[in-house]
Amino acid sequence: MEEGNFREVKTERPAKPKKNFAGLVAFIVIALFVLIIGFRCFYSVDEQHNAVVTQFGKVVKVNTAGFYGKAPWQEVHKVDMTTHGTGIGYVVSENGQNLVDKDNGIMITSDFNLLNIDFYLEYRVSDPVAYLYNAEDPEGELSNIALANIRTVVSNYTVDEAMTTGKSQIQSDVKEAMIKELESRDVGLAVVNITIQDSAPPTEEIVAAFKAVETAKQGADTAMNNAKQYQNQKIPEAEANADAIVQKANATKEARIAEGEGQAARFLETYAEYEKYPLITKRRMFYEKMEKILPGVKVIITDGNTQTMLPLEPFNE
């Protein structure tokens, strides 16, 4: 066909019915809604998990492996029920090497030695509801419980036992103590097993620090022993002095009592004589008192008229 004789021919296509298009859109929307509702109303649980179903924050049920339905407003929380493991006392480096955790891996034994001891803890979820709601960080609490009980148990064994023959018993004691504490805490976790990975003497720096502590401890023991020795010397001496003072006081008391009783007896005797001969007794008492007051004076009795002197003492003294 020549270019000059070319004539554009317009072809008219029939328009699609608007009604059919709107119906298709509605069908798609309804299908999507049904699929969304279906996905929200049905769920599956594999053998490694449990599903905790909640409604407005309250636990409704717990499902094991299977296919289940639920209301659209209910929530499903899946919890891994398989066994997990973690290290206690060491950390894993980027190249996969186990490095000592100096903050948590150094233990002190019953004979006051330090020891690097590493444990591998295997645990699992025992109660999915308690695991989700009873603790903010269940694994963190488990790690703290493990570390506390390990320190307590290791402190009951000597360093030689912890490195050789006592390993199995230490593992058993730690596991038993952790089981009891986890039951009381109710964090939804259970101990499967705990084993000692390695135990060895501490590094040179720690040994030096430990020796410094031991030296200070020995100095404190020496000072305490000296203080006790001084105490043991002084207490008997003080007790002996106290006994002597008490005995002297008792003797003085007895002497004073005897003296008082004697004076009282003499007074009664004098009084009896006074009742019989009051005038003579008063004179005799007067003369005796004057002798005590004036021991060096010669006493002569006279009535003022007579020339006779009656000395109370011999003149030849």
pLDDT per residue rounded down to tens, the chain (317 residues): 444 454 554 555 555 555 566 776 666 777 776 666 666 788 889 999 999 999 988 999 999 999 888 888 888 999 999 999 998 887 776 676 666 676 777 888 898 888 888 899 999 999 999 999 998 999 999 999 999 999 999 999 998 888 888 999 999 999 999 999 999 999 999 999 999 988 877 767 666 766 777 788 788 888 888 888 888 888 888 888 888 898 889 889 888 888 888 888 888 887 787 777 788 877 877 777 777 776 665 656 666 665 555 555 554 44
User: Which residue segment(s) compose the domain that 43 sits in?
Assistant: 20-78
Q: How many structural domains is the chain composed of? A: 2
Note whether residue 279 is domain-resident. no
The verdict on 41 and 107 lying in the same domain is no
Q: How far apart are CA 44 and CA 16, in angstroms?
A: 43
Note whether residue 8 is domain-resident. no
> Domain end: 43, 78, 113, which one?
78
The verdict on 68 and 113 lying in the same domain is no
- Contact at 8 Å (CB) between 72 and 40? yes
Q: Count of CB atoms within 10 A of residue 192's CB?
A: 14
Q: Any idea what the CATH number is for the domain that residue 169 is in? A: 3.30.479.30
Give residue-wise pLDDT tens across range 210-243.
677 778 878 888 888 888 888 888 888 888 888 8
The verdict on 44 and 146 lying in the same domain is no
pLDDT for res 216: 84
Q: How far apart are CA 212 and CA 316, in angstroms?
A: 92
Note whether residue 94 is domain-resident. yes
Nearest alpha-carbon partner for 150 in 126, 181, 128, 125: 181
The verdict on 194 and 102 lying in the same domain is yes
The verdict on 97 and 182 lying in the same domain is yes
The verdict on 154 and 191 lying in the same domain is yes
Inter-CA distances, 222 with 65, 210, 236, 291, Å = 68, 18, 22, 70
User: 187 Cβ partners below 8 Å, 6+ apart?
Assistant: 130, 131, 134, 135, 138, 141, 142
pLDDT for res 268: 82
The verdict on 113 and 175 lying in the same domain is yes
> Domain end: 202, 226, 244, which one?
202
Strand runs (DSSP E) across the chain, as ranges? 42-45, 49-55, 58-63, 66-69, 74-80, 84-88, 90-92, 98-100, 106-108, 114-125, 189-200, 300-301, 310-311
Q: How far apart are CA 142 and CA 191, in angstroms?
A: 9
**If you search the block for the tokens 């002197």, which residue do you land on?**
309
The verdict on 106 and 121 lying in the same domain is yes
Note whether residue 289 is domain-resident. no
The verdict on 55 and 93 lying in the same domain is no
Nearest alpha-carbon partner for 104 in 90, 93, 85: 90
Note whether residue 260 is domain-resident. no
